[in-house]
Chain A
Amino acid sequence: MSVVNFAGVSKRFEGESQGYAVKDLDLSIAPGELVAVVGKTGCGKSTMFNLLIGLIAPSAGEIRVLGCNPFADFDALAGKISVVFQNDRLLPWRSALENVAYGLELRHVARERRLAVGRDWLKRLGLEAHQDKYPHSLSGGMRQRVSIARAFATDPEILLCDEPFSALDELTGASLRSEFRRLVQETHKTGVFVTHSIREAMDIGDRILVFCAPGHVAAEFSLPASLRELGEEGLKQRILEVMGGTGA
């Protein structure tokens, strides 16, 4: 039983001259699996991501997330999906704590309860001393930590991440990556992690899906089996070949 299932999904935008953003996409993700989706810029990763969240509808094919159509049954997935975006997307008029509690507020969780949960998540991410600060007074890394806390705070079944560490410096990105992986494992979430970094995909994923334009899975690698078979450099090389279109 998969929690995410794409069957023959295609997406073509109105007035788009270059054709499909996603074409004949098939993929499925099992409960508790952390799947890294890697691909070059413009290969359709973000379109797949928006289809998965339910922000856009497929032109063809069927998407099921926890048994629901994420676009047509939009409200049915309330509280079951959380997203960490490429940029932090914090509400500038809310403190760090109020931002973390935002998803819970939209679920109408009582104020005391949601602030307690928010404080707990800020503590887990080492930001308890900054809970009353507004986003503009936090560093980029801290802001992204707040957005990760916001995503975990609603205790979703599925966690979706769209290149969340790509705007951070290498050290901050690496540190957040390992924290993120630890938190996903601790909380037993199903995760989809979109990235353009092969290194990041290998660090994060239980499985790596290699995307090629127009948005389809060109190859997939299970970890750590593929690492044992090919070695770190070999796997990286293989992924690069697939992304470059020279092999699968």
Chain B
Amino acid sequence: MRLRKEPIISGLVLIGLWQVASLFFPPFLFPSVLAIGRDLLAILTQGDLVVGALATSARILGGMAGAFLVGGAIGLWMGRSTTFERYIHPLLIFNQGIPALSWVVISIIWFKSTEFRIWFIILMTTLPAFAFQIHDSYRAISKDLIEMAMSFRPSKWDMVRTLIWPSILPGIMTAWKVNLGNVSRVVVVAELVGAGIGVGYELLQRQQLFDMAGAIAWTLVLVLFVVVTQGLVTLLESHFLRYRPTSERQL
């Protein structure tokens, strides 16, 4: 994979602009790049802070895995049953209208366990997107390919394994990439509901101390996690979807 120069240049420009701003404003508004770098290094090297960063990462992946399993099952079931779709589709739309903050309040009232609260919030805010994306992928399976496979009279499992799964895989990959960004935003809000560890908790601490360098450093940790995970999903995508044709001429 070739490293492109454009993102490096735009990143350096952003860092440069921030550094210039830090010369004209007090540190609680624009701390120097060096101060942010020091805090970032501390987070990535000090045991207890690393645990905090990993806790948030684990919550994101755990919540997304749950939303993927539940949303995926709902999406596939909607694809198989029009009756089920008629009942569940309006509920998913309704759910999409509920803000993440409302789920925070609801989960605080409903559940005692902080970890379960966070997991539930991620689940409820991400589930509709997984359900809709997997439902769409299922509906888009080529009727021609279904008839072709059916002409060999396969078992249901073989049909799922050899036709349905490969057909919906591109949609699943896209769903993970899109939802990863959304969940990283939601998880911080979710961690405000009494978590004693994690990026959201640390951000709250930094806000109370007016520690902008720390706040930026913790934000960067989250961004780093999203970028690395997106990279991993893209790697998986380029392996599993390598059959897809590419055109020399861009659209």
* Residue positions of A touching B, CB distance < 8 A: 53, 55, 74-75, 77-79, 81-83, 85, 87, 89, 91-94, 102-103, 105-107, 134, 136-137, 154
Q: Does B113 contact A (CB under 8 A)?
A: no
Q: Which residues of B contact A137 (CB under 8 A)?
A: 245
Shortest distance between the CB of A162 and any CB in chain B (Å): 10
Interface size on B, residues (CB 8 A): 19
Task: Indicate if the CB atoms of B153 and A78 lie closer than 8 Å.
Answer: yes
Q: Which residues of A contact B166 (CB under 8 A)?
A: 91, 93
Measured between alpha carbons, how far is A74 from B154 in the docked complex, in Å? 10
Q: Which residues of B contact A107 (CB under 8 A)?
A: 152
Task: Indicate if the CB atoms of A81 and B243 lie closer than 8 Å.
Answer: no
How many A-B residue contacts, CB cutoff 8 Å?
A: 57
Q: Does B48 contact A (CB under 8 A)?
A: no
* Residue positions of B touching A, CB distance < 8 A: 144-145, 147-155, 158, 162-163, 166, 241, 243-245
23 contacts between A and B (CB under 8 A): A53-B147, A55-B150, A55-B151, A74-B153, A82-B152, A85-B144, A85-B147, A87-B144, A89-B148, A91-B145, A91-B166, A92-B243, A92-B244, A93-B166, A94-B243, A103-B152, A105-B162, A106-B152, A106-B154, A107-B152, A134-B243, A136-B243, A136-B244
- Which of B158, B241, B244 lies in contact with A106, CB distance below 8 A? B158
Measured between alpha carbons, how far is A91 from B154 in the docked complex, in Å? 15
Task: Indicate if the CB atoms of A106 and B162 lie closer than 8 Å.
Answer: yes
Q: Which residues of B contact A154 (CB under 8 A)?
A: 152
Closest to B155 in A: A106
Task: Indicate if the CB atoms of B153 and A77 lie closer than 8 Å.
Answer: yes
The 10 A-B pairs at the shortest CB distance, nearest first, are namely A78-B153, A89-B148, A136-B245, A83-B151, A106-B154, A134-B243, A106-B152, A93-B243, A103-B152, A93-B166
Q: Which residues of A contact B163 (CB under 8 A)?
A: 91
Task: Indicate if the CB atoms of B152 and A102 lie closer than 8 Å.
Answer: yes
Closest to A103 in B: B152
- Which of B147, B151, B245 lies in contact with A81, CB distance below 8 A? B151
Taking A78-B152, A79-B153, A136-B243 as known contacts, 19 extra A-B pairs with beta carbons closer than 8 A to each other, sorted by chain A number, are A53-B147, A53-B151, A55-B147, A85-B147, A89-B144, A89-B145, A89-B148, A91-B162, A91-B163, A92-B243, A92-B244, A106-B149, A106-B152, A106-B155, A106-B158, A106-B162, A107-B152, A134-B245, A137-B245
Q: Which residues of A contact B158 (CB under 8 A)?
A: 105-106
Q: Which residues of A contact B144 (CB under 8 A)?
A: 85, 87, 89
Measured between alpha carbons, how far is A137 from B241 in the docked complex, in Å? 15
Measured between alpha carbons, how far is A92 from B154 in the docked complex, in Å? 19
If A89-B145, A134-B243, A136-B245 touch, whether A102 touches B151 (CB-CB below 8 Å) is no
Interface centre among B147, B149, B241, B243 (most CB of A within 10 A): B243
